[in-house]
Amino acid sequence: MTGMDFKGRVALVTGAGAADGIGFAAAKLLAEAGAKVMITSTTKRIQERLKELPGGAAAKAAFIADLTDDGAAKALVAAVKKKFGRLDILINNAGMLQTGHANRASRVDRIGDAEWKRALSLNLDTCFFVTRAAVPHMLRGRYGRIVNISSVSGPLVTFPRGGAYGTAKAAMMGYTRSLALELARKGITANAIAPGWIDTGSATAKERRAGRNTPAGRSGRPEEVGAVACFLASEGASYVNGQLIVVDGGNIIQEIKGS
């Protein structure tokens, strides 16, 4: 197996419930390249995504789970193993927002306990719980690709009222490096992606305006982030480990953004 051929590989993509989101974009690209794919989200809309995912019934599956719960994460990974017999690729995309839950973002001096814990649970615990459940299967197969969808916000930049969210995303990168260091000799790599302004279904008008002020002159598309995730999940990325790949149209390099 070389390059972007995923035949014989099994992938799990979390946070894939939105038709126009990064998770589902990555899942589609993996399926089109021959992987067997399990997708998951917190609501039954994941069944609609399953219908849209390339491949027959034997090559794809969907699972409803709230991955802020460790038991749900374990059940998800067990379902992958039962359906496909193995797990080779994990793309941790769950986070940021959750359907049915209000998003609160306060200034640093007003972040309450509940807001802080919710941000860490949604953006960090989801990644940790699923990865912890998945790694033993990868160790047994002496092969694995872990791709964590972080953000430029936290690891590299920040924004007003982004203290809790940015902290969680920065912590995700620390966890990614620990995975990369400890698992590399077992055939497992771990990397993260830092998307900038991406035109997903949850993007606001303000965020789309910010996208137009990037050097590229537009927001990114979910499939552009998905393509990087697929590269990091591929055989061709076998010597890429512990890295944070920025996908932001060059926005982070410019000091003056907009007029």
Burial of 102 (0-12, 13-18, 19+ CB in 10 A): exposed
Which of the 8 DSSP states describes residue 220? B
> 134 φ, ψ to 5°?
-85, -35
| Whether residue 165 lies in the annotated active site | yes
Using DSSP bridges, classify how beta strands 89-92 and 36-41 pair: parallel, antiparallel or unpaired.
Answer: unpaired
Residue identified by tokens 């007029």 is 259
What element of type H or E holds 6?
none
Which of 173, 224, 175, 165 is CA-nearest to residue 195? 224
- Six token digits for residue 49: 């995504």
Reduced to 3 states, what is the DSSP secondary structure of residue 224? helix
List of residues 6+ apart from 5 with CB closer than 8 A: 33, 34, 235
Residue in 143, 165, 175, 239 annotated catalytic: 165
**Cα–Cα nearest to 168, from 189, 197, 148, 188:** 148
Residues designated as active site: 165
